[in-house]
Amino acid sequence: MTDFTICPGFMAAGVAAQINKKGVIDLGLIYSEKDASVAGVFTKSLVQAAPVILDKKRVKSGKCRAIIVNSGNANCCTGEDGMAHAVAMTEFIASSLDLPEEKVLLASTGVIGEPFPINRVETAVPGLIEALSPHGFENFARSIMTTDTVKKLIFRHKEINGKKITVTGVAKGAGMIRPDMATMLCFICTDAGIAPDLLHTLLLSATEKSFNKITIDGDTSTNDTVIIMANNDSRVTIENKTEINIFQQLLNDLLLALAKMLVKDGEGVTKFVEVIVKGAENNHDAGKIADTIANSNLVKTAFFGEDANWGRIIAAAGRAGAQVNQDLIDIYFNDVMMVKNGMGCGKDVEALATKVLKKSEFVLTLDLNIKSGFASVFTCDFSVDYVKINANYRT
């Protein structure tokens, strides 16, 4: 048990409600002791879970007091009953904590299309409320894990105008991860004071620089949710340009750290790879090429096989829908130049590149040598275990 409050003015908890596997912590709650500004970013998929649909309406108020979450059941494609159960989850918390129902948000993760076990949630809520504690974020982090093998919980401190603020982030995600907002669940709490509209702007920017730069398997979820709450417990208000810049960088760093943790804990992952594309016509082109390479099944299986098969990489770059000139492309594994001007550098160099691929982490760089466009994406390999995990996900 930690001996400090992870985020002043907030409490959290996680309990076992028998929604996921028996005995596993699968129901969580974050509670702000005072009104908090709130902002959210959600999946762009046109198939959306009931919690996403409800949250998108409620975050428009700009105020929130609590978030209830569960793992084991996505409450997606569950019809009118699913929406009624989503509302009921928030009613249980609102009634127990004497809160307006519209100030309670929720999120779910797990199997799509299964009836939601609302009775198990209702039974577990009294224990969840009783378990609320300033030190409860670790159990909350466990409550949202599905195929995750480790919890993702980070906190940061920063002084602004001589006063300390805290930002705490909790995330989950190991499969069905591809950037299209933020393909997972993430909850951020801060004791800074930030107006809702500004908070939304800051969250969008930080998400673009973090969760929208990762991919595990190229699949976008139906339940993608990132929510941030700011309750001003520190009495440090983020208003002027200097304060905004400091907080933005703090949030960027926190979310990027969480994003990297998600990729490293991806289903069956053995390699963590940063794909850098530079020298593109513009940043947009660089992003398209980096994303295409990072999501290529052939490239990802080559990573797993520790095979410096650069032909797969240059082929992916060529089909990305961005400007390339194959006679100008250089390819590096870390600092080993594998390709120069679109041609391989020989077997001796390939042997050096293979040594790089045997590492658990490395950087793949494509220099297009056109202009100055730049982008990077964090990806991973495809392993045999990934196939096994997803072949048996519901059994």
Select 272-391's CATH number: 3.40.50.970, 3.40.50.1000, 1.10.3470.10, 3.10.20.340. Answer: 3.10.20.340
Residues marked as catalytic: 183
Local structure of 63: helix, strand or coil: strand
pLDDT digits (tens, 9 = 90+) for 208-260: 999 888 887 766 677 889 999 999 999 999 999 999 999 999 999 999 999 99
Distances from the Cα of 357 to the Cα of 125, 259, 266, 330, 332, angstroms: 48, 22, 18, 17, 11
Any idea where the domains of the chain sit in the sequence?
A: 10-264, 272-391
Is pLDDT at 143 greater than 70 in this prediction? yes
For 277, list phi and psi in degrees, rounded to 5: -120, 125
Report whether 231 contacts 34 (CB < 8 A).
Answer: yes
Structure confidence at residue 267 (pLDDT): 82
pLDDT score recorded for residue 7: 97
pLDDT, tens digit, for every residue of 36-82?
999 999 988 889 999 999 999 999 999 999 999 999 999 999 999 99
Instruction: Kindly list the strands in the beta sheet with 272-280, ordered across the sheet, starting from the edge strand earlier in the chain.
Output: 343-344, 336-340, 330-333, 361-367, 272-280, 373-380
Quick: pLDDT tens for 10-30.
999 999 999 988 789 999 999
Local confidence band at 183 (pLDDT 50, 70, 90 cut-offs): very low
Predicted pLDDT at 179: 53
Domain 10-264 sits in CATH at: 3.60.70.12
| 182 pLDDT tier (thresholds 50, 70, 90) | very low
Residue 225 · residue 185 · CB < 8 Å: yes
Instruction: Look at 178-182, 253-257, 281-285, 348-352 and tell me which has the smallest mean pLDDT.
Output: 178-182
pLDDT band at 146 (very low <50, low <70, confident <90, very high): confident
Most confident of 119-133, 137-151, 262-276: 119-133
pLDDT over 90 for what percent of the chain?
A: 83
Q: Chain-centre distance of CA 381, in angstroms?
A: 18
CA distance 216 to 174: 8
